[in-house]
Structures are given as structure tokens and as C-alpha cells.
Structure 1
Amino acid sequence: MCVQLLSFFFCFLQAKNLSEELRKLSWSGIPRHVRPITWKLLSGYLPANTERRESTLQRKRQEYFGFIEQYYDSRNDEHHQDTYRQIRIDIPRMSPECLMLQPMVTEIFERILFIWAIRHPASGYVQGINDLVTPFFVVYVFEYIKEEVENFDVSSLQEAALRNIEADSFWCMSKLLDGIQDNYTFAQPGIQRKVKALEELVSRIDETVHIHMQQYEVEYLQFAFRWMNNLLMRELPLRCTIRLWDTYQAEPEGFSHFHLYVCAAFLVRWRKEILDQRDFQGLMILLQNLPTMHWGNEEVSVLLAEAYRLKFAFADAPNHYKR
């Protein structure tokens, strides 16, 4: 990203009161150097006023570790042990494996997820929430290193840095989940609604694809549940998720409302490959293993531009995509 754009970011970030211009600037991608502070600001974790930022960080970090002292020893109690056991099962399955298999990272993720579950009894821990920690964790590690985090030994960081990364990841993940918590309450009604909305939207924007999947009895829930539950994190490389989240945090209701249009654009992006499949099994294998391994910022930018076009066309006119 050009030096001029980076200087614009620094200018906005030092302003006492952030304007809507920062969101507009962030929508098209945030430079790595300023992504940590920008994400904290866009998520609402850090106040816009520069004079209050340091005191807010200190207070929230202390509050998080107060929760650790208060609750974490209860993880093996009878009424919490199932939650803790499931968290421990899920973490090693996450991506990137080289990062998740580091003992220090595992410990941090276990604490973050357990404390969140204890403080949100309406949903508790649900598989899928675990993935939502990773982008925050990786971005906040960037504050302290220059190399790629996947190949970095996190335990080599100073303890103070590790504590800051852990607390900041917890609070920003919590902010994200506040906006989509009905995705994770009993029976996950938020996801059910979003998958249905995706089906209705695709039926209007590409009827051929929609009819093709109906013909071979592919239910949207069979592939799109994961897209909603994990916010496409299992479908995209981590670098693409981080770029996607730049826009999600800059976009109003990005993780809830705008994500629907991203999923629709993502599905239609594979139109040719979908129509080439002529049986249920072939379609399901394709939809659960879409070839995005080599995707980068360019592919994500095209996807976001199409999602924005769809939102502009359909968001304020829901009758356009209801039968």
C-alpha cells in the first residue's frame, strides 16, 4: 500500500475524534502497520479520543485478567468441565496448524474461550466461536513482530506483550459476538435465518445456479451453515480473512448484515464450477472444498466489490428477493 495512504491512516489515528473518514479509508484495506490500532478503534474497544486510549487499555486489560483470577480455576468443576473439554478438543483443529499447536497459543485460546463462555451463559461455548479469536490474535501479535506470525514462536514474546495480546483479543472477539450472538444461542436461530436469506437472495441474483442446486437436492444449510458459523474462515486463507475483516469492521453491521451479501457473491463466484457438477456428491465436494488456497487481496477486493453491489441493489428492497 502506498506511503501516502499509510500517512493518511496515521493522521486519522492521531486525531482526537475519529471521523467517518477512517471507516471509509479502512473499507478498502488497512496497512499492516496500523491494522492493530485501527481494528481496536473500529470495533469500539478503543475510544476515538486519543487522550483516553491508554487508560482504557489498561483498565480493560486488568478487567480481563480479573476474570481469569475469578473464573478460570472453575474450568474443571462438574458444571463447567464439558465446556472446557470441548474447547480443548476444538483448538488443535483450528488453522493455521503451526500456530495452534504451540502450547502457549493453546493456553491463551483456552482462557479466552472459557472466560467468554462463562460470561455468556445464554449461549455458552459453541463450535465456531473458537475460529473467531484467530484473526484478532494474529493481528495483535503484529504489533510486536515483523515476520509472518504463522512461523513465529509466540512464547518468545515478553510476558507483558502476551498479556496485552490475550486481553485485546478477548475484548474484540466479544465485541464481534455481541452483534451476532443469536448465531450461537440454542438451535442457532441467527444462522438458520441467514442461510434462508442467502437462499432467497441467490434465487433472485442467479436463478440458474439456484435451480441447478435444487435439481440435485443440495440444501443451502448443508454448505452455508459453516459459512455463517465460521464467517467463511474455513473457506478462505487466514490472510484473506484478515483483509475481509478490515471491511467488515468498517461496514455497518459488517459481520451480520453485510456478510450475507459476501456469501452470495462468494457462491455465485463459482457459477461455472457449480454448473459443471451433475450430481449431489460432486456438488457437495465442490462447495465444501472451494479452491481458494492461492487467493490474496485482489480476489477478496473483487468479492467485496460484488457484495457491495448486491447490497446496494437488494438491502433496502427486500421484496426484490422474496418470492
Structure 2
Amino acid sequence: MASDGARKQFWKRSTSKVPGSIQHVYGAQHPPFDPLLHGTLPRPPPRLPSTPQRSKRGSSFQEFESNTSDAWDAGEDDDELLAMAAESLDSEVVMETAHRVLRDHSQRQGQRRLRPEPPSGPPASDPRLVKSVSESQTGRPAEGASESTPLQRSQSLPHSTSVVLSSGVSDQDHGVLGGSALREREASRMDKFQQLLAGPHTDLEELRKLSWSGIPKPVRPITWKLLSGYLPANVDRRPATLQRKQKEYFAFIEHYYDSRNDEVHQDTYRQIHIDIPRMSPEALILQPKVTEIFERILFIWAIRHPASGYVQGINDLVTPFFVVFIGEHIDGEDVDALDVSQVPEDVLRNIEADTYWCMSRLLDGIQDNYTFAQPGIQMKVKMLEELVSRINERVHGHLEQHDVKYLQFAFRWMNNLLMRELPLPCTVRLWDTYQSEPEGFSHFHLYVCAAFLLRWKQQILEERDFQELLLFLQNLPTAAWGDEDVSLLLAEAYRLKYAFADAPNHYKK
């Protein structure tokens, strides 16, 4: 058993992130908080272990922690149907819609392999899908179903090749026609957004449906401001609202920011100052103007929210808003190439205020993630564990067998909303859907994390050692992910969510 000193060091806040090494829990402020012991969740009845118990060995977490304690300091249309299905909880419609997205992906995967006869997508009665739904609802595989998963890794091929075209067309024509179809589809979506936003009063429900499957870059800034509740739906009220909120933010700066050097706030400001340079993308964060903006935003938020103050992890949540809002004034898709010096000073001030208010709206819904002992996060990690145990008992049992605790890898998923696991463009795409879903950053995020974990089921089951398993879970190979990978992840999360829609006690065993 690890010593008290080693355990405290394990829970110490991160001071560096070493690629390729097992990392302690990023952002953890306090020792583990067990919702069962603290009465926030009902204690489940004892259950038989999913895998035979084994004797503790050298690779157990307890011995590993004790021995290394000093290391801790070092498809467009389908997407729209999927979003529209959320209006009604008709389980047949919802499940068929989600399955259609996954079947179309399987069909495109077959075409990408350039087989002579591309296989068609699995029919509605495909036993893999029957098994997947049955296992989600019962925690057991369907009878006669093989062990498989409908969510597969996307191949690193151009998006245009995923467009389903008639057979008999040359590979070159496939690319040309696919690109043309993609451009037409994007133009059609852009028209829908522009029509919806052009009216005197924006229908927010329609905007959420349309945004679920992704928001075009030119209209993303205004759409995010509307979906977050920062801007009113009434067009005539927006200029006055923007002016008032921006003026209010800079009044906070004038009133509070000088206090960063006061003894009572020195620790908060020092931690913010240390954390920002470690954020990504480095090319953006290390620009002095950006560093100053982020320091002001985070310090003002911490001062105005004393119940939580600044907690490591909150700093990451500034970046997506800032990148989206500044993208309205800078051309180019490469975030690493953004140069804020191109933006006029008055425009940059407005972007800073808008970023602050939208980030504040997000944090208002998940503030218990960052209060003392971070009970919101620790409860969500426990709920994720219970959910995965119901969806795939084999994966859950494998983690238990090798003494891997969900807190060791999923704490960061909840604390940073998967921002440390995905490239920034994928995070922006993910947040399009989160802002379209009711309680997207809290409730729906849980199902995204479950789908994300099970996305790596095969690799997890192949690992037979605690250290290698934890290393894999803390350094998942997502660097090459793109929008299609995120769309598949969201489709699977959506399916999982509505597979349990009529089972409010599904977190309990």
C-alpha cells in the first residue's frame, strides 16, 4: 500500500505534461472524493465480479504508485435527421436514425478500401447492431451475436472520398464528383443558417437542430453567442446587449485586475500565469497579447466566483471561444498560424469580452466541477464507470482486473471536456453539438466519454499490463482525428444516450 506522502503527491496538481509517460490526474486539487461514501449517490448492492479475482502483482497501481511516487512531481443528411430525432423520444425512430449514421459509415469504409465490389451497408437487422442495442440496455451481449462494435476508426482519407457515388466511375472522377457534392452540401447548409439568422427573431430551437451536425465557420461566432445565451434572439436588441456586456467586462478589469498583486490573490494569479504557457496551441498562446488576454479573463472569473476560484483545467476552456471569435477577423484554417497582431486593438478588446461572457455561461452549468473537492467531476467519473459497466462488461472487467481506476484517466476527460485528448479543431466541432444539446457540457458529455472509451475497446483488451494500459489511456492516438471522427463519436454517444432514455436508474447496478 502506498504511503500517505506518495498518495498526496499523486493528487498534487500538474506542473508539467510529459508526453509518453504516465501522467497524474490533471487538475486534481484534492484526494479522491467517493460519492458513495459522501452520500451523493445510492450505494449499489454487492455484485459478483465480472472477471475472476486475481492476486495482487507487481504491476498493481498501489505498488506502482509507491515505487514511482517521486515521478509525479516531474454524413450531413443523416446528422440532421439525428438532431431532429431529439424532438421525440420515440425509441424506434431514434435508434434507427443513429444506426443509419453508423451503417453509412460502414458502407463508406468499404468503398475506401477500393474493393472490386464495394460492400453495402449492413441492413437494419444486422446482428452487430442488434447486439449493440441489446448490450446497451441489458449489460449482456445479445444471444448469438459476435463481439463487435459499430463505431470504427475512420481512415485518414480525404473527406470527399466518403461521398457515396455510383459504381463504375473512375477514381479520379470519384474525387472530382465527391468534392463537388461536398461543396453543394456545404453551400446548402450555409444557406439554411443564413436564412435562419437573417430574420428579425432567430428561432433558437431550429438553430440548435441545424447546429447539431456542425456549424459552418463563417456563421459559427454568431451561432455560438446565440446558443450560449450571450446574445438575445431578437436582432434589434443585439447591438445594445453587446455594448452593455463588453462595457461591464472592462469595468470588472478596472475594478479588480490591479488586485492580482495583493497578497490574498497572489497565489491565484501566479497559478494562472504558470498554466497558460502550457496550453495549446503553443504558437497562439505564447503570443504576448493572447497571454495577457487569457490572464485577465481567468483572473476576473476567479475573483467573481469565490466558491470555486481558479482551478487548473478552467484555463483550457477559454481557447475554443477565443479561436472561434477571432477567426471571424482572420482568414485561414490553421490555428497555429493565427497572428493576433493582424486584429485591430478595439476589435481584440471586444473579442476578449465576448470570450469571457461565453466561457462564463459554459461554466455556470458545470461549476460544481470546480468547487472544493471537485464533486461534480468525481461524481461524473463514478457515473461513467457505472455506465461503461452496463454497456460493455468485458471492457469494464478488464480495467478492474488490471487495477486501472477510472479517475486515473477520466478525471481529465471531465475536467477539460476532452480538450487534452482531441485536436483543437475537433474540440470546436464537438462544442457545436454540445451547445445544441440540452445540458450538453454536463449530461451529454458523459455519453461522449463512454463512447470515446469504448472506441478503443480492442486496444484496451489487448493490453495485459497496468502500466501499458494506463499509458495508452492517457495518450490516446487522436492526433490525426478530423470532423468525421468526431461525427462518428457523437453518433455513438447519441445512440447510447437514447438507449437509456427510458431507464432513469441505468447508472445503478
> Which of 264, 268, 276 does residue 79 from structure 1 map onto?
264
Alignment-derived partner of residue 69 in structure 1: 254
- C-alpha displacement at 1:2, in angstroms? 1.5
Higher alpha-carbon deviation: 151-160 or 103-112: 151-160
Alignment-derived partner of residue 34 in structure 1: 219
Say which SS state the counterpart of residue 126 (structure 1) adopts: coil
Whole-Å separation in 1 of the counterparts to 2:354 and 2:507: 39
Q: Structure 2 length as normaliser, TM-score?
A: 0.63
Q: Deviations over 1:79-100 (max 9, x none)?
A: 0000000000000000111111
Larger radius of gyration: 2
Q: Structure 1 length as normaliser, TM-score?
A: 0.99
- C-alpha displacement at 1:18, in angstroms? 2.3
The amino acid that maps onto 2:299 is F
Whole-Å separation in 1 of the counterparts to 2:405 and 2:342: 47
Q: Which has the higher helix share?
A: 1
Confirm whether residue 121 of structure 1 aligns to residue 306 of structure 2: yes
- C-alpha displacement at 1:21, in angstroms? 1.0
How many corresponding residue pairs? 323
Whole-Å separation in 2 of the counterparts to 1:245 and 1:285: 27
Confirm whether residue 234 of structure 1 aligns to residue 234 of structure 2: no
- Do 2:299 and 2:310's aligned partners in 1 also have CA atoms closer than 8 Å? yes
Whole-Å separation in 2 of the counterparts to 1:315 and 1:199: 18
Identical-pair percentage? 75
- Do 2:330 and 2:342's aligned partners in 1 also have CA atoms closer than 8 Å? no
- C-alpha displacement at 1:321, in angstroms? 3.9
Alignment-derived partner of residue 508 in structure 2: 322
- C-alpha displacement at 1:204, in angstroms? 0.6
Q: Of the two structures, which has the highest relative contact order with CA contacts closer than 8 Å and spacing of 6 or more?
A: 2
Q: CA 1:314–1:6 in 2, change beyond 3 Å: closer, same or farther?
A: same
- Do 2:317 and 2:359's aligned partners in 1 also have CA atoms closer than 8 Å? yes
Q: Deviations over 1:93-146 (max 9, x none)?
A: 001111111111000000000000000000000000000000000000011011
The amino acid that maps onto 1:196 is K
- Do 1:36 and 1:139's aligned partners in 2 also have CA atoms closer than 8 Å? yes
Say which SS state the counterpart of residue 209 (structure 2) adopts: helix
RMSD: 0.9
Alignment of structure 1 residues 78-97 onto 2, 5 Å: 78-97=263-282
Higher alpha-carbon deviation: 105-114 or 151-160: 151-160
Give the ranges of 4+ consecutive aligned residues of structure 1 lying more than 6 Å apart after TM superposition: none
Confirm whether residue 192 of structure 1 aligns to residue 350 of structure 2: no
User: What are structure 1's unaligned runs of at least 5 residues?
Assistant: none
Whole-Å separation in 1 of the counterparts to 2:442 and 2:298: 21
Whole-Å separation in 2 of the counterparts to 1:308 and 1:160: 41
Q: Deviations over 1:175-194 (max 9, x none)?
A: 00000000000000000110
- C-alpha displacement at 1:17, in angstroms? 2.4
Say which SS state the counterpart of residue 320 (structure 1) adopts: coil
- C-alpha displacement at 1:318, in angstroms? 3.0
Say which SS state the counterpart of residue 318 (structure 1) adopts: coil
Whole-Å separation in 1 of the counterparts to 2:343 and 2:225: 21
Whole-Å separation in 2 of the counterparts to 1:16 and 1:210: 51
- C-alpha displacement at 1:13, in angstroms? 1.1
- C-alpha displacement at 1:319, in angstroms? 2.5
